[in-house]
Structure 1
Amino acid sequence: MQIDFHHGVTYIVARLAGFDHDEANIIAYCAQYVDDASNSGLIRFNNGALFRRMSSAHKLLDYRNFKQLASHHVWIPFHFLPGNGGLPAGQNPEGKFIQKLICYPNSYVAQEMLRECINNRDHPHGLHRLGITMHVYGDTWAHQGFAGVTHQVNEAKLILDDRGNPDLIKTEKINKYFRKNLLERMANAFMSEAFPIGHGAVLGNPDKPYLKWGYINGFNQIIKRDNAKDFLEAAEQMYKWMQRYRLGDTQADVPGLPVRDKKLIADKLENIIDKSGKKRHRVWLNSILEGEFSFGKAEVTYVAKGKGSWKYEALKTEKEKDESGEIYSYDANFLNSNWKLFHDALFSHHFYIIHVLLPKYGICIV
């Protein structure tokens, strides 16, 4: 999923679920910032204070640092949550260990992740963690069938069109992309390794809501995808879990999306067809500004870095990439800043997924 869904649709779903504008802003900002928090390490302040932040993203398709790109400590907890074959804890899917790591929509693993988030909603970073969790949860639909490790399951031997026929033009475009952007930087010997990282071999196809497409994976299985249908189901389930969060009840029987709003979301997922996620995002934000949804008009913005961003508010820096050894001016408001609370939530989420949740399903990736 891209910024149009992670930020725009998440804000809409949060408002429909009963969160007010400011709360929904926090949830939606965090859901998108998971894809933009690419710096990690120690922050040093001029008064001697220290703060350690972590990254939840690598630059998309940045093959200049192959080892960093392949880091399962980023891909697995934040983007490709293992699905255990759709089975509950204590059961194992048939086949090898990789079958446990493949992302599965609305899996038992994902639902346990959501319950943990709700059970910790009273923490200062509760809403921030909800936003992070909504990102990971939504991606279980977009990234289904792929794994956050280097493996042949992520290969795409042939791209298919919406009728299941070979899409030779798109396949060749992807091949040309990799030849241009990868082979210039790497020896030919690494080609087979670079394809099977996440869904790199099919580029952005899983993340564009309007696409109907398919591919033949590394196991020679024909996979058919209808992104608009999958993304609408993700929005529906996110709406239900956000209601449970507000109630503080992980088992609450809650309704689905309001009929009119659901129809509007479905129509936009299918018919906003610009290839640029940022351009699609602007369409969603304009719809919110014009009051097309039942919660009324609202002005929503998102700035990842620089002035107007959470990071700027916390550290007063406009830099895209932090410099080693930099000293920041400390402000007493830092401890309550959204940027700091987002990173607190990242650490909580990461620790729980890696050290508590996945081991319950027989998955060890430490």
Structure 2
Amino acid sequence: MQIDFHHGVTYVCARLAGFEHREASVVAYCAQYVDDSTQAGLIRFDNGAMFDRISSAHKLLDYRNFKELANYKVWIPFHFLPGNGGLPAGQDPPGSFIEKLICRPNSPVAQAMVRECIDQRDRSYGLHRLGITLHVFADTWAHQGFAGVSHVINNARDLVDGNNNPDQNLKNRLSNFFISGALPLGHGTVLSNPDRPYLRWGYTNGRGEKISRDNPKDYLTAANEMCKAMQRYQLGDPNAPVEGLLDADKATIAALFESTRGEGDSRHQQWLAHIAQGAFSFGPARVSYVAKGYGSWKHQALGIVGEGDRKETRLAYSPSFLTSDWKLFHDALQAHHFYVIHDLLPQYGICVA
């Protein structure tokens, strides 16, 4: 999924789940920032204080950048959550280990991840972790059928459009890419097809199985399940019976998935415009997202723009850093990563770096 969903739709679902503007903005910012947090390492301050962080994306989250994308520490916990074949803990899908790594929509693994996030909601970074969790949760629909490792299962071919005709448009786009030996990794062989909400398409996977994808349907299901997760977060009960999206808002979201076209940034601006115009039951709201530079969370926390956080740099320290959204996001990022790799996946017999 891209910024239109991870930021725009997440904000909408948060408001519809009962969050006020400020909290919904934090959740939505974090959900998108997972794709934009590309730097890792130590921050050094002029008073001797230090802060360490990990990244959740690459400098170019681009399907041409296959060498960089081979970093499983980013790919598996943040973008391609293993699905264990859709089976609960203690059960193994038939076949080899790769079957456990393939991403599955709303899998028991994903549901356990959401429950843990709700159980940890009282942490200082609880709201920020919710945004990160929702990013990973939503991607289980978009990235279903693919794995965050280099494996033949990802080797899609015979791409077709929604009418089952050969997808010449995708073939033309693929011809402009230099495909390296690192393929097949993730859904690189189908580029951004899984990330476009309006697209209906299909392919033959690395096992020769014909797969049909209906992105509008999958995205609507993801939005509804995200809303339920946030309603449960509000209640502090991961098992609470909740309603999800109201019919009128669900219909609006479904219509926008179908009609909002163009590239990710363009679709994002269209979603923000609809939010500002009051297209949803919570009324009009002004929402923005600044990934880097002036006005970004990083700028607000560290007072820098660009690459001012290099190893040799000593930044001016302010006590407000400890409660800044940027720091809390990175605290949540580390908590999520540790939980997924060391606690969650081992319950399903999955050991990854």
TM range (shorter): over 0.9
* Alignment match, 1:187: none
Pairwise mapping of residues 128-167 of structure 1 onto structure 2 (< 5 A)? 128-167=128-167
* Alignment match, 2:57: 57
* Alignment match, 1:242: 230
Q: Deviations over 1:42-98 (max 9, x none)?
A: 0001111000011000122265671x3201110000000000010000111111100
* Alignment match, 1:14: 14
Instruction: Verify: 1:42 aligned to 2:42, yes or no.
Output: yes
Q: Distance in 1 between matches of 2:23 and 2:327?
A: 16
Q: Deviations over 1:132-179 (max 9, x none)?
A: 0000000000000010111111112221111223223422431x1223
CA-atom RMSD, angstroms? 1.3
- Contact persistence 2:14–2:24 (CA under 8 A): yes
* Alignment match, 1:186: none
Q: 3-state DSSP class of the match of 1:213?
A: strand
**Which runs of no fewer than 5 residues in structure 1 stay unpaired?**
183-190
Q: Distance in 1 between matches of 2:171 and 2:332?
A: 39
Distance 1:64 1:236, change over 3 A: closer
Q: Distance in 2 between matches of 1:321 and 1:273?
A: 36
- Contact persistence 2:321–2:327 (CA under 8 A): yes
Q: Distance in 1 between matches of 2:189 and 2:63?
A: 13
Pairwise mapping of residues 1-366 of structure 1 onto structure 2 (< 5 A)? 1-58=1-58, 59-61=60-62, 66=67, 68-174=68-174, 176-179=175-178, 182=179, 191=180, 193-274=181-262, 276-319=263-306, 322-366=309-353
Q: Distance in 2 between matches of 1:64 and 1:167?
A: 23
Q: Distance in 2 between matches of 1:355 and 1:161?
A: 40
How far residue 291 of structure 1 moved from its aligned partner, in angstroms, is: 1.1
Distance 1:65 1:109, change over 3 A: closer
Q: Deviations over 1:261-291 (max 9, x none)?
A: 00000000111111x1111111111111111
- Contact persistence 1:86–1:108 (CA under 8 A): yes
- Contact persistence 1:158–1:171 (CA under 8 A): no
Q: Which amino acid aligns with 2:235?
A: L
TM-score (norm 1): 0.94
How far residue 215 of structure 1 moved from its aligned partner, in angstroms, is: 1.1
Q: Distance in 2 between matches of 1:335 and 1:5?
A: 29
Distance 1:138 1:62, change over 3 A: closer
Distance 1:62 1:138, change over 3 A: closer
- Contact persistence 2:43–2:309 (CA under 8 A): no
Q: Distance in 2 between matches of 1:64 and 1:273?
A: 25
Distance 1:323 1:22, change over 3 A: same
Most deviating of 355-364 and 147-156: 147-156
- Contact persistence 1:239–1:256 (CA under 8 A): yes
- Contact persistence 2:90–2:348 (CA under 8 A): yes
Q: How many equivalent residue pairs?
A: 352
Q: Which amino acid aligns with 1:273?
A: R
Q: Distance in 1 between matches of 2:185 and 2:264?
A: 21
Q: Distance in 2 between matches of 1:320 and 1:221?
A: 46
**Which runs of no fewer than 5 residues in structure 2 stay unpaired?**
none
- Contact persistence 2:228–2:243 (CA under 8 A): yes
Q: 3-state DSSP class of the match of 1:160?
A: strand
- Contact persistence 1:93–1:99 (CA under 8 A): yes
Q: Distance in 1 between matches of 2:316 and 2:61?
A: 31
- Contact persistence 2:170–2:190 (CA under 8 A): no
Q: Deviations over 1:14-55 (max 9, x none)?
A: 000000000000000000000000000000011110000110
Identity, % of aligned pairs? 60
- 4+ long deviations beyond 6 Å: none
- Contact persistence 2:26–2:128 (CA under 8 A): yes
